[in-house]
Structure 1
Protein backbone atom coordinates (compact mmCIF):
# COMPACT_ATOMS: atom_id res chain seq x y z
CA UNK A 1 0.00 0.00 0.00
CA UNK A 2 1.09 3.58 -0.63
CA UNK A 3 0.55 6.51 1.71
CA UNK A 4 -2.33 8.75 0.64
CA UNK A 5 -1.74 11.14 3.56
CA UNK A 6 1.56 11.83 5.28
CA UNK A 7 2.60 14.21 8.03
CA UNK A 8 6.27 15.09 8.36
CA UNK A 9 7.26 16.68 11.70
CA UNK A 10 4.11 18.80 11.87
CA UNK A 11 3.79 21.36 14.67
CA UNK A 12 1.18 23.99 15.40
CA UNK A 13 1.73 26.69 18.02
CA UNK A 14 -0.61 29.33 19.41
CA UNK A 15 1.59 32.02 20.87
CA UNK A 16 3.99 30.20 23.15
CA UNK A 17 1.85 27.06 23.42
CA UNK A 18 2.62 24.11 21.14
CA UNK A 19 -0.73 22.41 20.65
CA UNK A 20 0.85 19.92 18.22
CA UNK A 21 4.55 19.15 18.39
CA UNK A 22 6.64 17.35 15.76
CA UNK A 23 4.03 14.78 14.69
CA UNK A 24 4.83 12.37 11.85
CA UNK A 25 2.73 9.50 10.52
CA UNK A 26 1.37 7.96 7.31
CA UNK A 27 -2.16 6.92 6.41
CA UNK A 28 -2.09 4.19 3.80
CA UNK A 29 -4.74 3.81 1.11
CA UNK A 30 -7.68 1.79 2.40
CA UNK A 31 -6.70 2.04 6.08
CA UNK A 32 -8.87 2.90 9.07
CA UNK A 33 -6.59 4.47 11.69
CA UNK A 34 -7.72 5.69 15.11
CA UNK A 35 -6.27 8.82 16.71
CA UNK A 36 -6.72 8.70 20.47
CA UNK A 37 -5.58 10.70 23.47
CA UNK A 38 -6.96 12.45 26.56
CA UNK A 39 -8.91 15.68 26.33
CA UNK A 40 -6.65 18.56 25.32
CA UNK A 41 -4.09 16.28 23.67
CA UNK A 42 -4.24 18.21 20.39
CA UNK A 43 -6.28 15.77 18.29
CA UNK A 44 -8.70 18.27 16.76
CA UNK A 45 -5.90 20.81 16.29
CA UNK A 46 -4.00 18.16 14.32
CA UNK A 47 -7.03 17.56 12.07
CA UNK A 48 -7.35 21.33 11.63
CA UNK A 49 -3.71 21.49 10.56
CA UNK A 50 -4.26 18.72 8.02
CA UNK A 51 -7.36 20.32 6.48
CA UNK A 52 -6.16 23.92 6.31
CA UNK A 53 -8.18 25.38 9.16
CA UNK A 54 -4.85 26.15 10.85
CA UNK A 55 -1.60 26.33 8.89
CA UNK A 56 1.20 24.30 10.55
CA UNK A 57 3.93 26.42 12.05
CA UNK A 58 6.46 23.74 11.12
CA UNK A 59 6.60 20.53 9.10
CA UNK A 60 4.77 19.30 6.01
CA UNK A 61 1.41 17.78 5.10
CA UNK A 62 1.50 15.60 1.98
CA UNK A 63 -1.63 14.39 0.20
CA UNK A 64 -1.14 11.88 -2.61
CA UNK A 65 2.54 12.86 -2.55
CA UNK A 66 1.81 16.58 -3.05
CA UNK A 67 2.81 19.22 -0.49
CA UNK A 68 -0.50 20.73 0.72
CA UNK A 69 0.80 22.29 3.94
CA UNK A 70 -0.55 25.76 3.20
CA UNK A 71 -3.87 24.75 1.64
CA UNK A 72 -7.20 26.37 2.52
CA UNK A 73 -10.16 24.25 3.68
CA UNK A 74 -11.96 24.51 0.33
CA UNK A 75 -8.79 23.35 -1.44
CA UNK A 76 -8.55 20.36 0.90
CA UNK A 77 -12.18 19.46 0.17
CA UNK A 78 -11.71 19.73 -3.59
CA UNK A 79 -8.62 17.52 -3.45
CA UNK A 80 -10.62 14.79 -1.72
CA UNK A 81 -9.69 15.47 1.91
CA UNK A 82 -12.94 15.82 3.90
CA UNK A 83 -13.69 15.99 7.61
CA UNK A 84 -16.54 16.01 10.10
CA UNK A 85 -16.76 18.26 13.13
CA UNK A 86 -17.02 17.25 16.78
CA UNK A 87 -19.76 19.82 17.40
CA UNK A 88 -22.40 19.27 14.74
CA UNK A 89 -23.81 22.56 13.45
CA UNK A 90 -25.93 22.17 10.31
CA UNK A 91 -27.60 25.16 8.69
CA UNK A 92 -30.81 24.96 10.78
CA UNK A 93 -33.14 26.83 8.42
CA UNK A 94 -32.12 24.78 5.40
CA UNK A 95 -33.50 21.34 4.67
CA UNK A 96 -31.43 18.23 5.23
CA UNK A 97 -31.05 17.91 1.45
CA UNK A 98 -29.94 21.53 1.07
CA UNK A 99 -27.29 21.07 3.77
CA UNK A 100 -25.75 18.14 1.92
CA UNK A 101 -26.04 19.86 -1.47
CA UNK A 102 -24.14 22.86 -0.04
CA UNK A 103 -21.29 20.53 0.93
CA UNK A 104 -21.31 18.98 -2.55
CA UNK A 105 -20.94 22.44 -4.07
CA UNK A 106 -18.19 23.34 -1.57
CA UNK A 107 -16.33 20.22 -2.67
CA UNK A 108 -16.48 21.57 -6.21
CA UNK A 109 -17.59 18.46 -8.10
CA UNK A 110 -21.20 19.10 -9.23
CA UNK A 111 -21.53 21.41 -12.23
CA UNK A 112 -24.93 22.75 -11.20
CA UNK A 113 -27.22 23.11 -8.19
CA UNK A 114 -29.52 20.45 -9.68
CA UNK A 115 -26.60 18.02 -9.92
CA UNK A 116 -25.60 18.85 -6.33
CA UNK A 117 -29.13 18.00 -5.17
CA UNK A 118 -29.02 14.67 -7.01
CA UNK A 119 -25.66 13.84 -5.44
CA UNK A 120 -26.95 14.90 -2.01
CA UNK A 121 -30.03 12.66 -2.36
CA UNK A 122 -27.82 9.63 -3.08
CA UNK A 123 -25.66 10.26 -0.02
CA UNK A 124 -28.71 10.78 2.20
CA UNK A 125 -30.07 7.41 1.06
CA UNK A 126 -26.66 5.88 1.80
CA UNK A 127 -26.60 7.13 5.41
CA UNK A 128 -30.28 6.33 5.99
CA UNK A 129 -31.70 9.86 5.95
CA UNK A 130 -33.50 9.82 2.62
CA UNK A 131 -36.87 9.85 4.37
CA UNK A 132 -36.14 13.21 6.05
CA UNK A 133 -34.45 14.89 3.08
CA UNK A 134 -36.98 17.71 2.93
CA UNK A 135 -37.23 18.26 6.68
CA UNK A 136 -35.48 21.23 8.28
CA UNK A 137 -32.07 20.25 9.67
CA UNK A 138 -33.08 21.77 13.01
CA UNK A 139 -35.70 19.02 13.44
CA UNK A 140 -33.15 16.17 13.45
CA UNK A 141 -32.30 14.15 16.55
CA UNK A 142 -28.64 13.97 17.65
CA UNK A 143 -28.04 10.55 16.00
CA UNK A 144 -29.49 11.84 12.73
CA UNK A 145 -27.48 15.07 12.96
CA UNK A 146 -24.40 12.85 13.21
CA UNK A 147 -25.53 10.99 10.08
CA UNK A 148 -26.15 14.29 8.35
CA UNK A 149 -22.58 15.30 9.16
CA UNK A 150 -21.36 12.10 7.49
CA UNK A 151 -23.57 12.69 4.45
CA UNK A 152 -22.19 16.24 4.12
CA UNK A 153 -18.62 14.95 4.13
CA UNK A 154 -19.42 12.14 1.68
CA UNK A 155 -21.02 14.65 -0.70
CA UNK A 156 -17.51 16.04 -1.26
CA UNK A 157 -16.48 12.67 -2.79
CA UNK A 158 -13.55 12.21 -0.40
CA UNK A 159 -10.54 9.97 -0.84
CA UNK A 160 -9.64 10.52 2.84
CA UNK A 161 -12.20 11.17 5.58
CA UNK A 162 -11.23 12.59 8.97
CA UNK A 163 -13.89 11.77 11.58
CA UNK A 164 -13.88 13.85 14.77
CA UNK A 165 -15.73 11.95 17.53
CA UNK A 166 -18.73 11.02 15.40
CA UNK A 167 -19.95 8.65 18.14
CA UNK A 168 -19.97 11.16 21.01
CA UNK A 169 -23.35 11.32 22.74
CA UNK A 170 -24.74 8.16 21.12
CA UNK A 171 -26.10 5.15 22.99
CA UNK A 172 -24.89 1.58 22.44
CA UNK A 173 -27.43 0.75 19.72
CA UNK A 174 -26.73 4.01 17.88
CA UNK A 175 -22.97 3.37 18.07
CA UNK A 176 -23.44 -0.07 16.51
CA UNK A 177 -25.32 1.58 13.65
CA UNK A 178 -22.58 4.19 13.26
CA UNK A 179 -19.90 1.48 13.18
CA UNK A 180 -21.73 -0.32 10.37
CA UNK A 181 -21.99 2.94 8.44
CA UNK A 182 -18.28 3.72 8.85
CA UNK A 183 -17.39 0.22 7.60
CA UNK A 184 -19.59 0.76 4.56
CA UNK A 185 -17.85 4.08 3.89
CA UNK A 186 -14.47 2.34 4.06
CA UNK A 187 -15.78 -0.33 1.65
CA UNK A 188 -16.26 2.46 -0.90
CA UNK A 189 -12.47 2.86 -0.93
CA UNK A 190 -12.29 5.84 1.43
CA UNK A 191 -9.28 5.93 3.79
CA UNK A 192 -10.30 6.99 7.31
CA UNK A 193 -8.60 8.68 10.25
CA UNK A 194 -10.99 8.66 13.22
CA UNK A 195 -10.62 10.61 16.46
CA UNK A 196 -12.24 8.47 19.12
CA UNK A 197 -12.48 8.00 22.89
CA UNK A 198 -14.55 4.82 22.94
CA UNK A 199 -12.31 1.76 23.06
CA UNK A 200 -15.12 -0.40 21.62
CA UNK A 201 -14.96 1.69 18.46
CA UNK A 202 -11.16 1.76 18.35
CA UNK A 203 -10.82 -2.00 18.79
CA UNK A 204 -13.54 -2.96 16.33
CA UNK A 205 -12.73 -0.51 13.52
CA UNK A 206 -9.06 0.37 13.34
CA UNK A 207 -6.08 -1.57 12.08
CA UNK A 208 -3.68 0.87 13.73
CA UNK A 209 -3.81 3.39 16.57
CA UNK A 210 -1.97 6.70 16.97
CA UNK A 211 -1.74 8.06 20.53
CA UNK A 212 -1.39 11.79 21.08
CA UNK A 213 -0.52 13.35 24.45
CA UNK A 214 0.38 16.99 25.11
CA UNK A 215 0.54 17.47 21.34
CA UNK A 216 3.12 14.72 20.80
CA UNK A 217 2.75 11.28 19.24
CA UNK A 218 3.75 9.00 22.12
CA UNK A 219 2.80 5.58 20.71
CA UNK A 220 1.66 3.87 17.53
CA UNK A 221 0.66 0.29 16.80
CA UNK A 222 -2.13 -2.31 16.65
CA UNK A 223 -5.15 -1.57 18.89
CA UNK A 224 -4.68 -4.61 21.15
CA UNK A 225 -1.11 -3.52 21.92
CA UNK A 226 -1.96 0.13 22.50
CA UNK A 227 -4.62 -0.54 25.15
CA UNK A 228 -1.98 -2.37 27.21
CA UNK A 229 0.89 0.05 26.55
CA UNK A 230 2.03 1.69 29.81
CA UNK A 231 2.64 5.10 28.19
CA UNK A 232 -0.88 5.06 26.81
CA UNK A 233 -2.44 4.04 30.11
CA UNK A 234 -0.46 6.72 31.97
CA UNK A 235 -1.62 9.36 29.49
CA UNK A 236 -5.25 8.51 30.26
CA UNK A 237 -5.08 7.56 33.95
CA UNK A 238 -1.85 9.06 35.31
CA UNK A 239 1.16 7.05 36.61
CA UNK A 240 -0.44 6.06 39.95
CA UNK A 241 -3.64 4.66 38.44
CA UNK A 242 -1.76 3.16 35.50
CA UNK A 243 0.33 1.06 37.87
CA UNK A 244 -2.78 -0.14 39.70
CA UNK A 245 -4.53 -0.88 36.38
CA UNK A 246 -1.62 -2.97 35.09
CA UNK A 247 -1.46 -4.96 38.34
CA UNK A 248 -5.19 -5.67 38.06
CA UNK A 249 -4.77 -6.72 34.42
CA UNK A 250 -1.86 -9.01 35.34
CA UNK A 251 -3.92 -10.67 38.05
CA UNK A 252 -7.05 -11.04 35.92
Structure 2
Protein backbone atom coordinates (compact mmCIF):
# COMPACT_ATOMS: atom_id res chain seq x y z
CA UNK A 1 0.00 0.00 0.00
CA UNK A 2 1.27 3.47 -0.90
CA UNK A 3 2.13 5.70 2.06
CA UNK A 4 -0.30 8.56 2.71
CA UNK A 5 2.50 10.45 4.49
CA UNK A 6 6.16 9.92 3.75
CA UNK A 7 9.28 11.56 5.14
CA UNK A 8 12.43 11.33 3.04
CA UNK A 9 15.76 12.15 4.68
CA UNK A 10 14.22 14.90 6.80
CA UNK A 11 16.63 17.01 8.85
CA UNK A 12 16.38 20.11 11.04
CA UNK A 13 19.26 22.15 12.43
CA UNK A 14 18.94 24.93 14.98
CA UNK A 15 22.19 26.84 14.61
CA UNK A 16 24.88 24.22 15.11
CA UNK A 17 22.55 21.75 16.81
CA UNK A 18 21.04 18.88 14.81
CA UNK A 19 17.56 18.28 16.25
CA UNK A 20 16.41 15.84 13.54
CA UNK A 21 18.86 14.03 11.28
CA UNK A 22 18.11 12.19 8.04
CA UNK A 23 14.78 10.66 9.14
CA UNK A 24 12.80 8.58 6.64
CA UNK A 25 9.57 6.61 7.14
CA UNK A 26 6.07 6.25 5.71
CA UNK A 27 2.59 5.96 7.22
CA UNK A 28 -0.15 3.94 5.53
CA UNK A 29 -3.82 4.88 5.62
CA UNK A 30 -5.54 3.75 8.82
CA UNK A 31 -2.35 2.80 10.67
CA UNK A 32 -1.71 3.64 14.31
CA UNK A 33 2.03 4.21 14.68
CA UNK A 34 3.80 5.09 17.92
CA UNK A 35 6.73 7.50 18.03
CA UNK A 36 8.89 7.04 21.11
CA UNK A 37 12.29 8.11 22.38
CA UNK A 38 14.00 9.84 25.31
CA UNK A 39 13.32 13.47 26.19
CA UNK A 40 15.05 15.70 23.66
CA UNK A 41 15.11 12.98 21.00
CA UNK A 42 13.38 15.25 18.46
CA UNK A 43 9.84 13.85 18.52
CA UNK A 44 7.91 17.12 18.78
CA UNK A 45 10.35 18.80 16.39
CA UNK A 46 9.54 16.09 13.86
CA UNK A 47 5.79 16.78 14.20
CA UNK A 48 6.50 20.49 13.81
CA UNK A 49 8.38 19.79 10.57
CA UNK A 50 5.51 17.71 9.18
CA UNK A 51 2.93 20.40 10.00
CA UNK A 52 4.92 23.42 8.84
CA UNK A 53 5.66 24.94 12.25
CA UNK A 54 9.38 24.62 11.49
CA UNK A 55 10.99 24.79 8.07
CA UNK A 56 13.04 21.84 6.84
CA UNK A 57 16.81 22.09 6.76
CA UNK A 58 16.87 19.18 4.33
CA UNK A 59 14.69 16.38 2.97
CA UNK A 60 11.08 16.06 1.84
CA UNK A 61 7.64 15.66 3.37
CA UNK A 62 5.27 13.95 0.92
CA UNK A 63 1.53 13.98 1.69
CA UNK A 64 -0.85 12.19 -0.67
CA UNK A 65 1.84 12.25 -3.35
CA UNK A 66 2.52 16.00 -3.04
CA UNK A 67 5.72 17.58 -1.71
CA UNK A 68 4.47 19.76 1.16
CA UNK A 69 7.82 20.52 2.78
CA UNK A 70 7.41 24.30 2.47
CA UNK A 71 3.82 24.50 3.74
CA UNK A 72 2.56 26.73 6.55
CA UNK A 73 0.58 25.29 9.49
CA UNK A 74 -2.78 26.52 8.16
CA UNK A 75 -2.04 24.86 4.81
CA UNK A 76 -1.22 21.58 6.56
CA UNK A 77 -4.55 21.74 8.42
CA UNK A 78 -6.49 22.43 5.24
CA UNK A 79 -4.77 19.55 3.46
CA UNK A 80 -5.87 17.14 6.18
CA UNK A 81 -2.76 17.05 8.39
CA UNK A 82 -3.99 17.80 11.93
CA UNK A 83 -2.15 17.69 15.24
CA UNK A 84 -2.70 18.11 18.95
CA UNK A 85 -0.31 19.89 21.28
CA UNK A 86 1.41 18.51 24.36
CA UNK A 87 0.55 21.66 26.34
CA UNK A 88 -3.17 22.26 25.83
CA UNK A 89 -4.07 25.94 25.53
CA UNK A 90 -7.69 26.50 24.47
CA UNK A 91 -9.12 29.99 24.02
CA UNK A 92 -10.25 30.38 27.65
CA UNK A 93 -12.91 33.06 27.19
CA UNK A 94 -14.58 31.21 24.32
CA UNK A 95 -17.03 28.39 24.89
CA UNK A 96 -16.08 24.78 24.30
CA UNK A 97 -18.22 24.79 21.13
CA UNK A 98 -16.61 28.00 19.85
CA UNK A 99 -13.12 26.55 20.34
CA UNK A 100 -13.94 23.52 18.21
CA UNK A 101 -15.92 25.56 15.64
CA UNK A 102 -12.82 27.70 15.09
CA UNK A 103 -10.89 24.57 14.16
CA UNK A 104 -13.61 23.46 11.75
CA UNK A 105 -13.97 26.85 10.04
CA UNK A 106 -10.36 28.05 9.88
CA UNK A 107 -9.02 24.58 9.25
CA UNK A 108 -11.06 24.64 6.08
CA UNK A 109 -13.24 21.60 6.76
CA UNK A 110 -16.49 23.56 7.14
CA UNK A 111 -18.13 25.81 4.57
CA UNK A 112 -19.13 28.50 7.07
CA UNK A 113 -19.91 29.26 10.70
CA UNK A 114 -23.17 27.30 10.83
CA UNK A 115 -21.56 24.25 9.24
CA UNK A 116 -18.57 24.66 11.56
CA UNK A 117 -20.79 24.68 14.64
CA UNK A 118 -22.62 21.58 13.44
CA UNK A 119 -19.34 19.75 12.85
CA UNK A 120 -18.02 20.96 16.21
CA UNK A 121 -21.06 19.69 18.09
CA UNK A 122 -20.75 16.29 16.41
CA UNK A 123 -17.09 15.96 17.46
CA UNK A 124 -17.82 17.16 21.00
CA UNK A 125 -20.49 14.47 21.28
CA UNK A 126 -17.97 11.94 19.95
CA UNK A 127 -15.30 12.79 22.56
CA UNK A 128 -17.84 13.02 25.40
CA UNK A 129 -18.00 16.80 25.82
CA UNK A 130 -21.36 17.50 24.18
CA UNK A 131 -22.93 18.30 27.55
CA UNK A 132 -20.48 21.17 28.24
CA UNK A 133 -20.53 22.68 24.74
CA UNK A 134 -21.72 26.07 26.01
CA UNK A 135 -19.41 26.23 29.02
CA UNK A 136 -16.27 28.42 28.90
CA UNK A 137 -13.19 26.41 27.95
CA UNK A 138 -11.44 27.77 31.06
CA UNK A 139 -13.81 25.72 33.23
CA UNK A 140 -12.61 22.36 31.90
CA UNK A 141 -10.47 19.92 33.88
CA UNK A 142 -7.20 18.67 32.35
CA UNK A 143 -8.74 15.42 31.01
CA UNK A 144 -11.54 17.41 29.37
CA UNK A 145 -9.10 19.97 27.96
CA UNK A 146 -7.33 17.00 26.34
CA UNK A 147 -10.67 15.88 24.90
CA UNK A 148 -11.31 19.42 23.66
CA UNK A 149 -7.93 19.43 21.91
CA UNK A 150 -8.83 16.14 20.25
CA UNK A 151 -12.25 17.45 19.17
CA UNK A 152 -10.64 20.57 17.65
CA UNK A 153 -8.30 18.47 15.52
CA UNK A 154 -11.09 16.08 14.46
CA UNK A 155 -13.31 18.98 13.39
CA UNK A 156 -10.71 19.70 10.70
CA UNK A 157 -11.60 16.30 9.14
CA UNK A 158 -7.99 15.08 9.00
CA UNK A 159 -6.61 12.22 6.95
CA UNK A 160 -3.58 12.08 9.25
CA UNK A 161 -3.67 12.96 12.96
CA UNK A 162 -0.50 13.59 14.93
CA UNK A 163 -1.05 13.20 18.69
CA UNK A 164 1.63 14.76 20.91
CA UNK A 165 1.54 13.34 24.47
CA UNK A 166 -2.26 13.12 24.46
CA UNK A 167 -2.19 11.01 27.65
CA UNK A 168 0.20 13.19 29.67
CA UNK A 169 -1.20 14.04 33.10
CA UNK A 170 -4.06 11.53 32.93
CA UNK A 171 -4.77 8.74 35.41
CA UNK A 172 -5.14 5.07 34.42
CA UNK A 173 -8.91 5.23 33.88
CA UNK A 174 -8.64 8.43 31.82
CA UNK A 175 -5.89 6.88 29.71
CA UNK A 176 -8.08 3.83 29.00
CA UNK A 177 -10.86 6.17 27.81
CA UNK A 178 -8.41 8.09 25.62
CA UNK A 179 -7.13 4.88 24.03
CA UNK A 180 -10.69 3.81 23.18
CA UNK A 181 -11.18 7.16 21.44
CA UNK A 182 -7.93 6.73 19.50
CA UNK A 183 -9.04 3.29 18.29
CA UNK A 184 -12.43 4.70 17.26
CA UNK A 185 -10.73 7.49 15.32
CA UNK A 186 -8.57 4.91 13.56
CA UNK A 187 -11.79 3.06 12.71
CA UNK A 188 -12.79 6.08 10.64
CA UNK A 189 -9.79 5.43 8.41
CA UNK A 190 -7.68 8.21 9.93
CA UNK A 191 -3.94 7.54 10.08
CA UNK A 192 -2.55 8.24 13.56
CA UNK A 193 0.99 8.97 14.71
CA UNK A 194 1.08 9.05 18.51
CA UNK A 195 3.98 10.44 20.54
CA UNK A 196 3.90 8.75 23.91
CA UNK A 197 6.19 8.25 26.92
CA UNK A 198 4.12 5.55 28.61
CA UNK A 199 5.35 2.30 27.07
CA UNK A 200 2.39 0.27 28.31
CA UNK A 201 0.10 2.68 26.44
CA UNK A 202 2.01 2.85 23.19
CA UNK A 203 2.51 -0.93 23.07
CA UNK A 204 -1.20 -1.55 23.58
CA UNK A 205 -2.41 0.66 20.74
CA UNK A 206 0.34 0.81 18.09
CA UNK A 207 0.74 -1.48 15.11
CA UNK A 208 4.25 -0.15 14.50
CA UNK A 209 6.78 1.77 16.54
CA UNK A 210 9.30 4.38 15.44
CA UNK A 211 12.16 5.19 17.82
CA UNK A 212 14.10 8.45 17.75
CA UNK A 213 17.38 8.95 19.59
CA UNK A 214 19.45 12.13 19.30
CA UNK A 215 17.31 13.11 16.31
CA UNK A 216 18.00 9.88 14.41
CA UNK A 217 15.54 7.10 13.63
CA UNK A 218 17.10 4.01 15.21
CA UNK A 219 14.20 1.57 14.82
CA UNK A 220 11.02 1.07 12.77
CA UNK A 221 9.08 -2.15 13.26
CA UNK A 222 6.43 -4.05 15.17
CA UNK A 223 6.31 -3.50 18.94
CA UNK A 224 7.89 -6.94 19.47
CA UNK A 225 10.75 -6.18 17.06
CA UNK A 226 11.40 -2.79 18.62
CA UNK A 227 11.46 -3.85 22.28
CA UNK A 228 13.89 -6.63 21.42
CA UNK A 229 16.18 -4.30 19.42
CA UNK A 230 19.45 -3.94 21.30
CA UNK A 231 19.95 -0.33 20.18
CA UNK A 232 16.52 0.63 21.51
CA UNK A 233 17.12 -1.17 24.81
CA UNK A 234 20.42 0.66 25.31
CA UNK A 235 19.10 4.06 24.21
CA UNK A 236 15.68 4.13 25.76
CA UNK A 237 13.95 1.11 27.27
CA UNK A 238 16.56 -0.36 29.54
CA UNK A 239 17.22 -4.07 30.02
CA UNK A 240 14.73 -4.43 32.91
CA UNK A 241 11.77 -3.20 30.84
CA UNK A 242 12.72 -5.40 27.88
CA UNK A 243 12.90 -8.44 30.15
CA UNK A 244 9.51 -7.67 31.74
CA UNK A 245 7.96 -7.28 28.29
CA UNK A 246 9.31 -10.66 27.18
CA UNK A 247 7.90 -12.33 30.31
CA UNK A 248 4.51 -10.61 29.91
CA UNK A 249 4.38 -11.52 26.22
Normalization by structure 1: what TM-score? Answer: 0.94
Q: Hey, what's the Cα distance between the residues in 1 that align with 2:21 and 2:109?
A: 35
- State the secondary structure of the residue aligned to 2:157: coil
Matches within 5 A, 1:32-47: 32-47=32-47
Q: Is 2:188 aligned against 1:182? A: no
1:175-215 residue CA offsets vs partner (Å, 9 max, x unmatched): 00000000000001100011011112211111100000000
Partner of 1:208: 208
Q: Is 2:19 aligned against 1:19? A: yes
Shift of 1:105: 1.2
Partner of 2:86: 86
**Long gaps (5+) in structure 2:** none
User: Contact between 2:100 and 2:148, CA under 8 Å: does it hold in 1?
Assistant: yes
1:32-55 residue CA offsets vs partner (Å, 9 max, x unmatched): 100000000000000000000001
Shift of 1:69: 0.3
- State the secondary structure of the residue aligned to 2:103: helix
Shift of 1:225: 2.1
Q: Hey, what's the Cα distance between the residues in 2 that align with 1:250 and 1:187?
A: 29
Partner of 1:132: 132
State which drifts further: 46-55 or 200-209.
200-209
Residues 24, 157 of structure 1: CA spacing in aligned structure 2 closer, same or farther, 3 A cutoff? same
State which drifts further: 102-111 or 155-164.
102-111
Partner of 1:121: 121
Shift of 1:244: 6.5
Q: Is 2:80 aligned against 1:105? A: no
Partner of 2:192: 192
Q: Is 2:229 aligned against 1:224? A: no
Q: Hey, what's the Cα distance between the residues in 2 that align with 1:132 and 1:200?
A: 31
| Number of positions where the alignment pairs a residue of Structure 1 with one of Structure 2 | 248
Partner of 1:69: 69
Normalization by structure 2: what TM-score? Answer: 0.95
Matches within 5 A, 1:149-160: 149-160=149-160
Q: Hey, what's the Cα distance between the residues in 2 that align with 1:223 and 1:8?
A: 23
Partner of 1:58: 58
Q: Hey, what's the Cα distance between the residues in 2 that align with 1:160 and 1:201?
A: 20
Shift of 1:228: 2.4
User: Contact between 2:3 and 2:27, CA under 8 Å: does it hold in 1?
Assistant: yes
State which drifts further: 225-234 or 94-103.
225-234
Q: CA RMSD in A?
A: 1.7
Partner of 1:163: 163
Shift of 1:28: 0.6
